[in-house]
Structure 1
Amino acid sequence: MPRTDARRGALYALIALTLIWSYNWIVMKQALQYSGPFAFSALRYVFGTAVLFGLMLLRRESLAPPPLKPALAIGLTQTAGFQALVQLALVGGGAGRTALLAYTMPFWVVLLAWFALRERPSARQWFCLAAAAPGLICVLEPWRGLGGLRSTALALAGGLSWAVSVVLAKRLFARGTVEPLQLTAWQMLLGTLALVALALLIPERPIDWAPSYVAALAYNAVLPSGIAWALWLFIVQRLPTHVAGMTSLAVPITGVLLAWAILGERPDAAETAGIALIAAALLTLNLAPRRG
């Protein structure tokens, strides 16, 4: 596939991913009224894994596993580590703003890719990071409180865990023998085993199998936990590591806009300024002319 077509496909995938994951913050907020966070996380990924393997069968793709050690490392960091750390942060702190701390991932990715993959950011990319960082702070508004030091540290660790998985996946894709759907399904299977163990070990309230909870679980199984993670690894495969990381910042700002439209949570002046800064950084990153 030509480089321009590959990048265009990745950007289309990013648009779909942004809409799916942004709306899912609203769905998860509603679902946690009916069950504990670990039970919901385990169930959504159990069903999400089944969806991915079913999709592989429909596409008549080989079910052969990718190299197991890298797949296990990605599963533990992307599926289990990221999800468990963010859910723990949500339990002890303010839901929306604490969850958004996970989107410090792009900043971790830039540093990790520089050292692990030798992808040194250009001056323009440093400029975009410098513009996006205060934008994210404005959206988070830490001066209003983030649920305490423990919750903040857990959410930041979740972002770091996700960033590690991005670098590990990029390194595995560099071998040229793994497809995004194949890797997504197998890493999710391995990571889900860890989430199921956590759900069994950590006491939580019984699940209320209300129709709203079943609908939220079905949505998560098919889209956010299944297809969206396959789209994410497709993006990681097609785009430079730091670009893939930075473009994920579209999710929290779209989430703020959807919360405004659906829940009536109108962004204040600081959030509006933050959205503008992040949007400008993303436009500069993806639309500016490229050399070479």
Structure 2
Amino acid sequence: MSTSPLLQRKWVVYVLILLITLIWGYGWVLMKEALRYMGPFSFSALRFGVGSVILFMIMFFMKMKRPPKEQLGHIVIVGLLQTAVVYLLVMYALHFVEAGKSSVLLYSMPIWSSFFAVKLLKEKITITKMVGLGLGVVGLIMIIGWDIFIGQDFSALFGEILIIIAAASWGLANVYYQLKVKGVSKIQVTAYQMGFGTLGITAAAIGMEWGEPIQFNVTSIYYILFTGALASALCFTLWFIVLSMIDIVTATISTLLVPVFGLLFSAVLLGEKITAGVILGSCLILAGIFIAQLPMKKMEQTKSKSLTL
């Protein structure tokens, strides 16, 4: 690709990043509100079911074959870690934790990715990475610890811990993907991992929420379609387009806008309060994620050239 067309498309990249982060940030409000109409596991099963169907339809029209058999087992594990575990924990935790705070805690994921990369991929831990991880951990403590000081009940604290575990699971899924999944396009991996993850979520919904009422109305269907079609299928597809146009580090850093939008949408639409602890903790987490990824920039720029859709 020549330099001139790339420069002409820079504005497209910026628009896509803004659109993705806005939709993901707004999606946290809908995930929280959806609990008024159905159980957390039922909603997640419906949401990712819609997203999976759309992605498989894209694969069908693009005439993409299924991944090699030797890779399917690894993709199943990625799906369980990244879709099933993460959203089972997050959706259940949203019963107790505000949507804005939840988005901040889940997007500590890059910190956990860095930690697992050191342990499993044997990446060297540099001074800047240590500083970044340290800031992130302090930020998490600030968010949770502040709530303890102001007398928050145990259920909210329990929900926050579940979301941190979800963030760690997401980070582990990223590292496992880099370690085990080879020669499979991004859309194939996303479609199949989301499909397998949906099966796990559906099993949990049947086991835990069988017989519980599900209210289908204009509002609840909107929540399902928006988070399934837009926040899941569309945004993941656009995300891969962004990854093919710019380096991974720049793209990943851009996701830091998601918890910012999550906090803003939650404050405006749900009336959630943004405390000093959440603000300070969020700033530390965002700073930690940025600093922890600085040493990876050169390597990620090289990797980005080999990304395929």
Q: Does the pair score TM above 0.5?
A: yes
**Residues in 1 aligned to 2:266 and 2:26: alpha-carbon distance in whole angstroms:** 8
Aligned partners of 1:181 and 1:230 also within 8 Å: yes
Given the alignment, which residue of 139, 158, 162 partners 1:154? 162
User: Residue 222 of structure 1: CA displacement?
Assistant: 1.0
Deviation at 1:152, TM superposition (A): 4.3
Output the CA distance in 2 between the equivalents of 1:275 and 1:148.
Answer: 18
Residue 231 of structure 2 corresponds to residue 257 of structure 1: no
Output the CA distance in 1 between the equivalents of 2:192 and 2:290.
34
1:128–1:281 Cα contact (<8 Å) kept: yes
Q: What is the CA distance between 1:190 and its match in structure 2?
A: 1.1
Deviations 1:13-62 (A, max 9, x none): 6554432221111011221111111111100011110111122234x141
Contact 1:82 1:161 in 2 (8 A): yes
What's the TM-score, normalizing by structure 1? Answer: 0.79
Residues 121-160 of structure 1 correspond to what in structure 2 (within 5 A)? 121-140=125-144, 141-143=146-148, 144=150, 145=152, 147=155, 150-160=158-168
Structure 2 gap ranges (5+): 300-309
Aligned to 1:228: 235
Pick one of 48, 52, 57 that aligns with 1:54: 57
State how far apart, in whole Å, the 2-side matches of 1:194 and 1:54 are.
21
Task: Write the mapping of 1:38-187 to structure 2, written as runs, cut at 5 A.
Answer: 38-58=41-61, 60-66=62-68, 67-91=71-95, 93-96=96-99, 97=101, 100-140=104-144, 141-143=146-148, 144=150, 145=152, 147=155, 150-172=158-180, 175=182, 177-187=183-193
RMSD: 3.5
**CA shift for structure 1 position 153:** 4.1
Question: Does the CA contact (< 8 Å) of 1:51 and 1:226 recur in 2?
Answer: yes
May I ask how many residue pairs the two structures share in their alignment?
282
Counterpart-to-counterpart distance in 2, 1:236 and 1:78: 19
**How far is 1:248 from its partner?**
4.7
- The C-alpha deviation readout for 1:157-201, integer Å capped at 9, x for no partner, is 22222111111122245x3x1111110001111111111111112
Judged with a 3 Å threshold, the aligned counterparts in structure 2 of structure 1 residues 234 and 150 are, in CA distance, closer, same or farther, namely: farther
Which residue of 200, 211, 221 maps to 1:194? 200
Q: 1:245 to 1:167 in 2, by over 3 A?
A: farther
Q: Which amino acid aligns with 1:209?
A: F
Q: How much identity, in percent, do the aligned residues show?
A: 30
The amino acid of 2:248's aligned partner reads L
Q: 1:57 corresponds to which letter in structure 2?
A: F
Does the 8 A contact of 2:108 with 2:289 survive in 1?
Answer: no
Verify the 8 A CA contact 2:108 2:285 in the aligned structure 1: no
Structure 2 CA distance, aligned partners of 1:279 and 1:100?
9
Aligned partner of 2:66: which letter?
A
**Structure 1 residues 122 and 223: alpha-carbon distance in aligned structure 2, compared to 1, 3 A threshold:** farther
Q: 1:147 to 1:229 in 2, by over 3 A?
A: farther
| Structure 1 residue 289: Cα displacement | 11
Give the counterpart of 1:211 among 207, 212, 218.
Answer: 218
Structure 1 CA distance for aligned equivalents of residues 256 and 195 of structure 2: 26
Q: How far does residue 265 in structure 1 lie from its aligned partner after superposition?
A: 3.5
* 2:306 corresponding residue in structure 1: none
Structure 1 residues 202 and 251: CA distance shift in structure 2, 3 A: same
Q: Which segment is superposed worse, 35-44 or 253-262?
A: 253-262
Q: For 2:295 and 2:18, locate their aligned partners in 1 and report how far apart those are by CA, in whole Å.
A: 18
Contact 1:18 1:251 in 2 (8 A): yes
Shift of 1:90: 3.2
The answer to whether the aligner puts 1:269 opposite 2:273 as a matched pair is no
The 3 A distance-change label for structure 1 pair 124 and 179 is same
Q: Could you tell me how far apart the structure 2 residues matched to 1:112 and 1:235 are?
A: 25
The question of whether the paired residues in 2 share the 8 Å contact of 1:86 and 1:99 is answered with no
Is the contact made by 1:10 and 1:239 (CA closer than 8 Å) also made in structure 2?
no
CA distance in structure 1 between the aligned counterparts of 2:286 and 2:111, rounded to whole angstroms: 16
Match of 2:37 in 1: 34
Task: Tell whether 2:29 aligns with 1:21.
Answer: no
